A and B are shown apart, each in its own frame.
Chain A
Amino acid sequence: MKMYLELYASLMHLLPPGTSRHKREIKVNEGTSVQDVIDEYHIPLEMAHIVLVNGVFVCEDRSQHILKELDVLSIWPPVAGG
């Protein structure tokens, strides 16, 4: 199924070459979890700090959060500002 992966800040380089800015359309199998995508794109555990699906924080076990068609998975390393 089709979904979108967004990687920001120092994670942007983990997106495939040719990706425009942060966002990439990707294909995943039914039943794919958030953690599966994190693993597939080699995102270090400590660098997947802010993890959103459709703008909502994934606070539960990421391996239990199953992605759906057209979901947007967004990930940031530890960042701050203000």
Chain B
Amino acid sequence: MSWTRKVLRVNLTTGNCTTEPLNMDWAKNYLGQRGLATKYLVEETDPNVDPLSPENIFIMATGPLTGTMASTAGRYSVITKSPLTGAIACSNSGGFIGNEFKNAGLDMIIFEGKAASPVYLYIENDTVEIKPADDLWGKSAWEADAMIHAKHQDPNLKIAVVGRPAEEGCLYAAVINDLHRAAGRSGVGTVMASKNLKAVAVRGTKGVKGLEKPAEFMSAVNDGKKVLADNAVTGQGLPTYGTQVLMNVINSVGGLPAHNMRDVGFAGAENISGEAMHEPRASDGKANLTTNGACFGCTIACGRISTIDKTHFSVKDKPEYHGASGGLEYEAAWSLGADTGVDDIDALTYIQFVCNEDGIDPISLGCTIAAAMELFEKGKIDIEETGGIDLRFGSAEALVAATEAVIAGTPFGKILGMGSKRMCEKYDDPDLSMSVKGQEFPAYDPRGIQGIGLAYATSNRGACHLRGYTIASEILGIPVKTEQADSDGKPELVKAFQDATALVDSAGLCIFTTFAWGMEDIAPQIDAACEGDWSVDKCLEAGERIWNMERQYNNAAGFTADDDTLPKRLLKEAIKSGPTKGQVSKLGEMLPIYYEVRGWTPQGVPTPDTLSRLGLS
């Protein structure tokens, strides 16, 4: 189905659940999911709202293609104001729950207020009930998932749930769905828990309907699937090696940060790479990677299903982790591995498991622990403060212990749960936080790869690779190769990636399709499914509109051009060795051009002409 044209509004303070028609005027300008839910957020909340107050709203939203036959069309997003950054938050997840929302007849659910005690929301088609969750509170996401399934005796129930760190206020808690998919970034799980909302469980059986031009849609969808199958990346590379194939690539080109981004290049990279996940281990002859996996409707299947060596110190007395579960993705393997100096693939896989089990963003977790390791090395944190953890770079034992401290909510775990920005400010060393707008970096060094630095600095949700993945062009040659050390042309490249991504994130599709699809493949699928004009130009214009709307929200929330920056380390400290030796980020050269290309003032504010052109006046 395309839009179901129905919104479920749940007031957790009063307990009222009501439905209302989707605002179709907005849908025709913001499409769905990221764009449309952000429009609702912008219209219904004060940008200066405390993210963890009842006045903040929390939206789960699908796109018009979610639940259709289009490849990868199982996505949903969580949209709210972030407690980690204070900026707009939109975290996108796959799995199967997005499809279930659509089959229950819902485009989005808007949660308002705060429940007096823990609750979960149960949806079965038109039946909507707020149910007590006192027994679920204090349980991990996996435990709560199992308990809800048992209560309803329905194995087909799809569940999105938060774990214990969210309840305890960890600022980078995720919302986990289908056990190992996550709306991971920006602390959206923390907002959910702040409303005493433990979980959302949904079962939908209404089926697919509402396509604007069904025959054209199926034709466009089939064309798109053929492009994905025939493409070497989406047809072969991603299913075989997953995202983790990048570990050796990025290390080789001088773009892999290490040791809290103090260094570039990690000697242990090959031990934690996608290729290493295929190697048989000594203890049982099995590889870390068991199989690949796919989300709803996906014909790529990049997901990793892994096992941990049963004799490994992290799990040898924990048989509950001896089965196969969601394994390492590249960004997590980097932050937990290279950034902390740990090249123990079993330790990293264990931490990935527990991040899924308890709902933590592994990128922010790894980077925050890496910053703590540098503070420890400098003597600003001592072993008494860590609760006995010898928090040295390279120590797998310390990494595991620090992760378990976050989950257990120990005093030091609470400090780590603040995220690197607040933690480094607490220890009077704010420059050690490798973050933008308070959100930690993904796995590409802005000194070695120039465009991604501009993308990080200008990302509307803080440092993020998924807001403008220029790595595709700068390293992977998709759609065309650009020189990684050049700053020329990067402002235009970043804008193009940001706008296109905003559109894809609003459609219900996975961004990984864009390794093979251009907008000329995507637009016909949207146009055939949805009412209105969704030509390539209109799609790109909608993407630009969404980006500018997010920017306006952040500006209204108090962000300025001064926040479009990178840590001093990346602007001042040149790379010490390797093929990118001597480089620093040329952000200062790129940023003014980016503002100009965007149609913004030198202060980073969209001009009246830009707003008028995009219908945002």
Contacts and interface: CB of A to CB of B under 8 A. Distances in A.
A and B interact physically: yes
B243 A81 contact: yes
Given A59-B481, A80-B233, A81-B245, A12 B275 contact: yes
B453 interface: no
Interface centre among B245, B465, B466, B472 (most CB of A within 10 A): B245
Interface in A8-38: 8-10, 12, 21-22
Contacts of B350: none
A55 B246 contact: no
B177 interface: no
B237 A78 contact: yes
Given A8-B248, A9-B237, A46-B232, A79 B476 contact: yes
Nearest to A47: B232
Contacts of B274: 9, 81
B477 A50 contact: yes
Contact of A79 (B246, B481, B483, B512): B246
B447 to A, nearest CB: 14
A12 B579 CA distance: 23
B270 A49 contact: no
Interface string A61-82: 0000000000000101111111
A22 B245 CA distance: 13
B469 interface: yes
Interface string B229-246: 001110011101111111
A56 interface: yes
A9 B241 contact: yes
A15 to B, nearest CB: 12
Interface in B421-461: none
Given A50-B477, A55-B252, A80 B237 contact: yes
Contact of B477 (A21, A49, A56): A49
Interface string B164-180: 00000000000000000
Interface in B229-285: 231-233, 236-238, 240-246, 248-249, 252-254, 270, 274-275
Interface string B469-492: 101100111100101100000000
B257 to A, nearest CB: 15
B515 interface: yes
Contact of A52 (B242, B253, B465): B253
B331 interface: yes
A82 B469 contact: yes
Interface residues of B, number: 42
B244 A81 contact: yes
B330 interface: yes
A41 interface: no
Nearest to A8: B248
A77 B249 CA distance: 11
Contacts of B248: 8, 22, 76
Contact of A77 (B237, B483, B578): B237
Contact of A80 (B270, B481, B515): B515
Nearest to A46: B232
Nearest to B484: A57
B579 A54 contact: yes
Contacts of A47: 232
A73 B240 CA distance: 23
Contacts of B231: 78
Contacts of A54: 579
Given A77-B237, A82-B331, A8 B249 contact: yes
Contacts of A79: 233, 237-238, 241, 245-246, 249, 476
Contact of B238 (A52, A59, A80): A80
Nearest to A55: B579
Contact of B270 (A21, A56, A76): A21
A80 B510 CA distance: 14
Nearest to A76: B249
Contact of B243 (A9, A50, A55, A82): A82
Interface centre among A6, A57, A77, A78 (most CB of B within 10 A): A78
Given A49-B232, A57-B481, A77-B232, A82 B246 contact: yes
B312 to A, nearest CB: 21
26 contacts: A8-B245, A9-B237, A9-B241, A9-B245, A9-B274, A21-B270, A22-B248, A22-B275, A50-B249, A50-B475, A50-B476, A52-B253, A52-B579, A55-B254, A77-B236, A78-B232, A79-B233, A79-B245, A79-B249, A80-B233, A80-B243, A80-B472, A80-B515, A81-B246, A82-B246, A82-B511
Interface of A: 6, 8-10, 12, 21-22, 46-47, 49-50, 52, 54-57, 59, 74, 76-82
